[in-house]
């Protein structure tokens, strides 16, 4: 099982992105590193913060947990429910960034917006390998 935002999920996600020609073709020019901070939704059974990140296009230097965070080009923050909706394809990440439902304390939203196909491919790959979620969130 690969529960969303766990080490097993991130390892599988990095491998999927590395091996996906569609992702790699678009990601070559993105060339940035990302930290994602997911805040709890205690009312839905998610009481922990989640941290994960990596460098694109290599999908290198992956980390999970706050102790593993390194100085990346981007910091993206939102609650678990928002990221769940992105991962399940209920909402798209770039519009959420533009509407500030996902905060970007570090990095440029307009730069990410140039890479919508790469971002969407990332989440397509993630949906295919995610088997479960924390709390009350379901596939």
What is the C-alpha to C-alpha distance for residues 132 and 53, in angstroms, rounded to an integer?
A: 19
| CA within 13 Å, CB half, 46 | 23
All structural domains of the chain, each given as residue ranges with its CATH number in brackets, are 7-128 (3.30.1050.10)
User: For a pLDDT cut of 70, what percent of the chain falls above it?
Assistant: 100
- State pLDDT tens for residues 78-105: 999 999 999 999 999 999 999 999 999 9
pLDDT attached to residue 1: 72
Residues 102-115 have a mean pLDDT of: 96
């Amino acid at each position: 099982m690969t529960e969303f935002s766990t080490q097993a999920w991130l390892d599988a996600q990095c491998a999927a992105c590395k091996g996906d020609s569609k992702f790699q073709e678009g990601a070559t020019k993105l060339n940035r590193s990302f930290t994602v901070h997911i805040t709890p939704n205690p009312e839905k059974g998610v009481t922990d913060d989640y941290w994960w990140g990596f460098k694109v296009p290599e999908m290198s230097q992956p980390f999970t947990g706050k102790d593993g965070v390194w100085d990346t080009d981007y910091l993206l923050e939102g609650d678990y429910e928002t990221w769940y909706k992105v991962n399940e394809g209920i909402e798209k990440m770039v519009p959420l960034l533009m509407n500030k439902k996902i905060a970007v304390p570090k990095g440029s939203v307009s730069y990410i917006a140039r890479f919508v196909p790469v971002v969407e491919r990332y989440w397509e790959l993630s949906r295919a390998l995610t088997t479960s979620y924390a709390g009350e969130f379901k596939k």
